[in-house]
A and B are shown apart, each in its own frame.
Chain A
């Protein structure tokens, strides 16, 4: 019980919720439509509950270890043991990037994000950060929308420049 990892607990609960929702929702469908959700879902739920409880119940832990043909002590590689504060910072960058892209679009946010990341995270001198972010953005634009005609999201802000900044039609969720 002492070594309950927060990640294990969070993931376990998350997966339980996901699997449980689908299993319960499947009950409203006909026989053939719920057979696969139930056949797969019930054992999955059982395993998830067992993993959840095994942290508190050593005997179950031993049974699971035997069923796993090895120890339940996760063979984690040392890569994923960074401090949580550092992970929150990086995840924060990514979340901020995705939301900013959603709202303001690629054309504006890509150079800004690169500049900010180079400046803050990589501690690059401002001039170099600015130049490199502009160069990289230009290369991306030349390659994607310009040459290949791949559509680029302009963001949901009111239309400022057609197709470039603002005015995207948000698809219905």
Chain B
């Protein structure tokens, strides 16, 4: 209708309006800035450094360090990255900026370490052992060889819960009862632990999946839509197995009983020692790209490890339901090797469980 270029009656004369709007936006922008900076951000007080930082051969860091998180802001690993990054930033004298590159089940964080520049300005937190499994399941998946591991940021325990009214307690009773297993999704950490455990314990794979997180699965158990749940032990789960709530813990995967669940046995006590220990625990492991100069890796690793010994950092992560268990880069590398061995054994099982639908 109006192909001609019409200038309209207001053309040219209303410039001040645009400028006024730009000015308004600027005022609002600064207002937000003011509100943001008014409040003091938490400054973790650096403890007496356990090791004095060696003077590096290369000037590092000269600008901000980007910490890639493959999950949205507000999640556990995001909280860990921000808390630890905050401490490291104070110490290293540059900003450690957390970037949430979400998508593809956290694979973009792995990708950042695999393909990113190996100059020390990019590090990544990975959700293990799950992301290792994801790469194994994908024929074109990457391997984790050569990453410069910085350490373990946080770790969460696994626990199996069921309604208090459930008739089963031990793995044998569970296998006999053939319960429907509640799963938020047939991908992810809880699924991995459940798939491996049910295989080892001989529990039939009957699953109800697609819930919107842990709270939704607990509601589903109370509705009687499913009967048993594998989950990471976040504060909500911890509260749900308290005496006044409706759930009980069946077993945990740690080496020793957990202080918040003294009545819940470990898998080792129940005769499944091969499932215990750190292999199946949900760990946030931090790495830099392969080929990052060793002195830079050392500098980052030292600062990272000091952050994990800081009481404020520990307290904050504990509030978020995560356990801090410092692990050197070397030890992390070995732990990844242990995960790799276990997962290689169970890749086909996990694949079959996924395709059982």
Contacts and interface: CB of A to CB of B under 8 A. Distances in A.
A86 B3 contact: yes
A143 B357 contact: no
Interface in B76-132: 97, 99, 101, 103-104, 108, 111-112, 115-117
B18 A147 contact: no
A171 B26 contact: no
A147 B357 contact: no
B36 A135 contact: no
Interface string A80-93: 01110110000000
A170 B267 CA distance: 43
Interface in A11-54: 30, 32-33
A123 B32 CA distance: 35
B111 A139 contact: no
Interface in A133-173: 135-136, 139, 142-143, 146-149, 151, 162-163, 167, 169, 171-172
B223 interface: no
A52 B25 CA distance: 48
Taking each of A86, A148, A151, A172, which has the highest tally of chain B beta carbons within 10 Å of its own beta carbon?
A172
B101 A171 contact: yes
Contacts of B104: 172
A128 interface: yes
Contacts of A74: none
B125 to A, nearest CB: 16
A33 B115 contact: no
Interface in A118-135: 121, 123-124, 128, 132, 135
B97 A149 contact: yes
A82 B1 CA distance: 5
B22 A135 contact: yes
Interface residues of A, number: 30
Interface in A73-113: 78, 81-83, 85-86
Given A86-B3, A132-B18, A136-B22, A147 B111 contact: no
B29 interface: yes
Contacts of B97: 149
A7 B223 CA distance: 50
Contacts of B212: none
Given A132-B18, A169-B116, A139 B32 contact: no
A139 B25 contact: yes
A123 to B, nearest CB: 8
A149 B64 CA distance: 13
A33 B117 CA distance: 41
A139 B101 contact: no
B15 interface: yes
B3 A82 contact: yes
A149 B36 CA distance: 11
Given A132-B19, A135-B22, A171 B111 contact: yes
10 contacts: A81-B1, A82-B1, A82-B3, A136-B22, A148-B32, A163-B63, A169-B111, A169-B112, A171-B108, A171-B111
Interface of B: 1-3, 5, 7, 12, 15, 18-19, 22, 25-26, 28-30, 32-33, 36, 63-64, 97, 99, 101, 103-104, 108, 111-112, 115-117, 355, 357
Given A142-B29, A151-B99, 4 more contacts: A30-B355, A139-B22, A146-B33, A169-B111
Interface of A: 30, 32-33, 78, 81-83, 85-86, 121, 123-124, 128, 132, 135-136, 139, 142-143, 146-149, 151, 162-163, 167, 169, 171-172
